Structure 1
Amino acid sequence: MNKIQIYRALRNHVELSEKRSAMYESNSIAKVLTYVGIMALAVYIMFFSVLFALIANDIRQFTPCQFLFGLTPIVLVVDYLARLVAQRTPAQLVKPYLLLPLRKYDCVDSFIMSSIVTPNNLLWLFLTVPYSIMSIVFSAGIFPALGFVVAFQLLIICNSLFYMLTRTLFNKKIILFVIPLIVYGLMFAPWYLKNFDALCYFYSNLGQWATDGTPLFYLLAFVALALFFLLNRRVQYANIISETMKEKDLKLKNISSFSFFDRFSQTGEYMKLELKSMLRNRNTRSMFIYSIIFIVALSLMNSFTDIYADDDFSTKFWAVYPFTLSSINLIKIMGPEGNFIECLLVRKENIRSLLEAKYYYYSALSIMPLVLMLPNVFTEKYSFLMLLSLMFFTAGPMFCVVMQLAVINKVSVPLNTKLTRKNGMETNYVQIIVEMVALFMPIVIISVLMVFVGETWTYVIMLLVGVLFMALHKYWIGNIYRRMMKRKYVNLQGFMTSR
């Protein structure tokens, strides 16, 4: 078999694996909603494309191609951050092929090629194609416009390979998260050294090269593509082999007994389990650390910088997210426990105590952004009522919404392996929908309520609703538990087959 045949066969196996996923049926409606959301995002990007085209047609110091390429660093950072939020590093189907007479890099090459031709990389065409039609075709001609679109797309593909490389590295060691920070920081160096105009002038040369069809530009772009491909190839292969071939670590670790939680009976035992799982297992620990980093970073930026604009909406927008991020770890609720779900089902009410423990654990975590953003209260950027209402609203109705996923989640999350698993990528579109609801619902509710009842009563209502949900948490957690028990054997089969 040649490379193309191997690639097609492996891609077919991945597609079959996704169809056999335990979440395939549950994903049907959510997948449609996800596509609707992507279409809405495409329309949003086209709006910016038209806006940039109108600006480019009015200015004289840059050609239209130079103008958009002058904003390249900003686009690449936005692209990277979007991938960080919405795109996971998919697990690879490697184990079934280890004993087959395939070349050692065949599976990895197939995976990297799939990430290059993914439709996600085509989303930015909704920016470049309308822009080139409105601003470049009539001023420079069709071939310069085509060169502009191709050149910009090459930069996006390079950025996607850079994302895959760095995401793999800092999944292995979280300190390597500094790599993209340094790289993108250096890209903005002309802004730091001079001003924003210097940044635009520096990168506008790329746009001129793309318009002129300069061979040097495309040579450098393809060299960068080849370099990122080879780096990904080596790094992916090394990490996959380390995950699949390493011996189990039997070294004993001394972990605190957390005797403080003994007073909470069985629920306390599950709070210990949550903490010990975070301390002992690499994946759960990484998820926790990432959420803490983002919560702390956003909270401190809110407290000590003017990151938001002066308008009221932006102020509320940036205040909400340190709280909503505390609920993101609950998106995969019951996923880690899927690795030992049989042990949790041997006694009645065990799962209910586990759900209560998770609720208390993450409710306590939501206190962190409140404390970190208290300086905003002292400087009168935010009111204490606002922060308190956001905390209670997050710990009340928002956690109630996210924890509903415990009923339908039936794919186990590996505790330590990141890049390899038995069934490949498990895309749960229901989780994606709920994640988007968790991120955007609070700001929508705030905006609507403020129109009708004003700012103070908005936060009073959110505070009262949050307190009500927290006071009644045993009732809605009990409802989740009863629905889980009705689906017990369906979920159990999904967890067991997805390990």
Structure 2
Amino acid sequence: MNLFLELRRHGKLANQRNPMYEKSRFAKFWIYLMVVFWAGYLIFFGITFAFAFSEGAQEAYHVLNGGLLFILALDFVIRLPFQKTPSQEVKPYMLLPIKRSRLIDCLLIRSGLDSFNLFWFFFFVPFAILTIARFYGVTGVLTYLIGIWLLMLLNNYWFLLCRMLMGERFWWFLLPVLVYGALGAAFFIPDESPLFDFCINVGESFILGNWLTFAVTLAIIALFYLLDRYIIGKMIYGEINKVEDTTVQVKHVSEYRFLERYGQVGEYMKLELKMLLRNKICKRGLYSAGGVVLVFSALIAFTDAYQGGMKDFLVMYNFALFGILFLSTIMGYEGNYIDGLMSRKESIYSLLQAKYAIYSIGQVIPLVMIIPAIIMGKVTLLTAISWFFFIPGFVYFGMFQMAVYNNRTVDMNNKMTQRNVGTGMQNLISSAVFIVPLLLYFLLHFLTGETTTAWIFIAIGLAFILTSRYWLRNVYNRFMKRRYKNMEGFRDSRQK
């Protein structure tokens, strides 16, 4: 426990010494504001759900318990953009008499105690008070909430397992797809699903404080904990000792000569493509994002599980995911060689143009993947085209503002042993990418209808795309005014 507290204290000190600490403090206010908003939304939904099923044949908590697996699946999806793999700068502690396994335990305990695992309580607490307290009293509410927390903790370690495996090999994304596909089939294919009754029994066992149910849940959590511990240990060993996978042979190296016609911008487009397709960390992120977009597109096209607002969220998510992954830390990868970039006149401006071109063209990928949903009539062609223009227009305009303020180098090879590179501002921008477009879409959809909303989004997107030359120049000029401060931050945050 002393080691855990000491590492936590070191982490707080490192954040305070972070070059972006002041901007993070500003962003935290807006993050807390959004947390309050979503907490209020969940509280409202929990109260509404309790009253909506109060007159049914089954008690409301039986209905909710029957869908616990759906809530856990939704929680898994929500974690994808917001929860990162836990990391710790391990090298300084290797010189001390501290076992590596204890450092890994601290990482996993910190992940388990993360407040994200309690966020669903804003929904479950009012729901439990209104539906469970009158039958089982305060004790039933407490034991039920403890059981829900254990399920979220289990989901946390299950998510970490999948994320780490997908980081090592792209094809591991099939693991959660197969698991949730099998669970979905078990729910919907039989006329009377035994899985639904099983979930009801688990929820009721939590309410009754059944020790066997708690013991089995804790045993599953321990199993995922040990699996995560083993995988993190292997990843840390490989990163510290620079163990490379020598089984992969490069048979063909593309030089992207077709981009040479675009001059200096074309050269930086080649640099960006090489970074995305050859660098280990970027390539894994690219493949993982592609897998998620493919799965969500298939769910929209071939199932009826996601309709209404959830469908709109998934469509927008598909188009925004690539930008969130790579543009929230824009200039972070370039921090490894920023001195070379600054030695040439206006190279940063050309780099920004190249990045904008690459990620805008990349929107073709989710557009192609959404075609089956368009053919099946689940998504209109006009809606898909509106997101195709709106994301690289309005959303990328906001993401590229981070190029002015990001001054934290992102390591290109290490994931588990790197410093914590996330900042409040980056988290704020990433959250805003989801919230602002959806709120604007729902508001316009309510006021004007789907067709008019799509045309408005196309107009907004095209306006920002056609004026990109001017606002990219503005970003470049502001970056150059801060260049010495940013370069100092990039140098100080590089891995030694």
What do residues 143-188 of structure 1 show as CA deviations (whole Å, max 9, x unaligned)? 2222111122111111112222222222111212222233334444
2:293, 2:27 → 1: CA distance?
28
Q: Report the equivalent of 1:175.
A: 171
What amino acid is aligned across from residue 170 of structure 1 in structure 2?
A: M
What secondary structure does 1:416 align onto? coil
Q: Report the equivalent of 2:282.
A: 284
2:244, 2:287 → 1: CA distance?
24
When residues 272 and 196 of structure 1 are mapped into structure 2, their CA distance, relative to the original with a 3 A threshold, is farther
What amino acid is aligned across from residue 414 of structure 1 in structure 2?
A: D
Q: Report the equivalent of 2:145.
A: 149
The offset of 1:322, in angstroms, is: 3.0
1:380, 1:211 → 2: CA distance?
43
Tell me how many residue pairs correspond in the alignment.
491
Compare 374-383 and 283-292 and name the one that shifted more.
Answer: 374-383
Q: Report the equivalent of 1:475.
A: 470
When residues 148 and 382 of structure 1 are mapped into structure 2, their CA distance, relative to the original with a 3 A threshold, is closer
2:375, 2:61 → 1: CA distance?
47
What secondary structure does 1:332 align onto? coil
The offset of 1:364, in angstroms, is: 1.1
Q: Report the equivalent of 2:213.
A: 217
**Structure 1, gaps ≥5 residues long:** none
What secondary structure does 1:57 align onto? coil
Q: Is the 8 A contact 1:262 1:269 kept in 2?
A: yes
What is the aligned-residue identity percentage? 33
What secondary structure does 1:105 align onto? helix
Q: Is the 8 A contact 1:295 1:326 kept in 2?
A: no
**Structure 2, gaps ≥5 residues long:** none
1:165, 1:401 → 2: CA distance?
32
What do residues 120-140 of structure 1 show as CA deviations (whole Å, max 9, x unaligned)? 222222233222221112212
- Within the candidate set 187, 190, 195, 1:194 is matched to 190
Q: Report the equivalent of 2:103.
A: 107
1:318, 1:31 → 2: CA distance?
26
Q: Is the 8 A contact 2:293 2:369 kept in 1?
A: no
What secondary structure does 1:115 align onto? helix
Compare 313-322 and 140-149 and name the one that shifted more.
Answer: 313-322
Q: Is the 8 A contact 1:190 1:202 kept in 2?
A: no
- Within the candidate set 69, 73, 95, 1:73 is matched to 69
What amino acid is aligned across from residue 37 of structure 2 in structure 1?
A: A
When residues 230 and 368 of structure 1 are mapped into structure 2, their CA distance, relative to the original with a 3 A threshold, is closer
Q: Is the 8 A contact 2:300 2:378 kept in 1?
A: no
1:123, 1:57 → 2: CA distance?
24
Q: Report the equivalent of 2:391.
A: 394
2:192, 2:483 → 1: CA distance?
58
Residues 1:332 and 2:329 are matched in the alignment: yes
Q: Report the equivalent of 1:25.
A: 22
When residues 445 and 228 of structure 1 are mapped into structure 2, their CA distance, relative to the original with a 3 A threshold, is closer
Task: Give matches, 1:238-387, under 5 Å.
Answer: 238-247=234-243, 253=250, 254-306=252-304, 308-309=306-307, 316-328=312-324, 329-374=326-371, 384-387=381-384
The offset of 1:323, in angstroms, is: 2.5
1:405, 1:358 → 2: CA distance?
13
What amino acid is aligned across from residue 3 of structure 2 in structure 1?
A: I
Task: Give matches, 1:49-128, under 5 Å.
Answer: 49-55=46-52, 57-62=54-59, 65-128=61-124
Task: Give matches, 1:121-136, under 5 Å.
Answer: 121-136=117-132
What amino acid is aligned across from residue 119 of structure 2 in structure 1?
A: L
What TM-score, normalized to structure 1?
A: 0.90
1:182, 1:129 → 2: CA distance?
32
Compare 368-377 and 33-42 and name the one that shifted more.
Answer: 368-377
What amino acid is aligned across from residue 294 of structure 1 in structure 2?
A: V
The offset of 1:374, in angstroms, is: 4.5
1:473, 1:318 → 2: CA distance?
27
Instruction: Compute the RMSD of aligned alpha carbons.
Output: 2.6
What amino acid is aligned across from residue 483 of structure 1 in structure 2?
A: R
What amino acid is aligned across from residue 287 of structure 2 in structure 1?
A: I
When residues 396 and 307 of structure 1 are mapped into structure 2, their CA distance, relative to the original with a 3 A threshold, is same
The offset of 1:342, in angstroms, is: 0.9
What do residues 322-364 of structure 1 show as CA deviations (whole Å, max 9, x unaligned)? 3333432322211111111111100111011111111111111
What TM-score, normalized to structure 2?
A: 0.91
Q: Is the 8 A contact 1:22 1:494 kept in 2?
A: yes
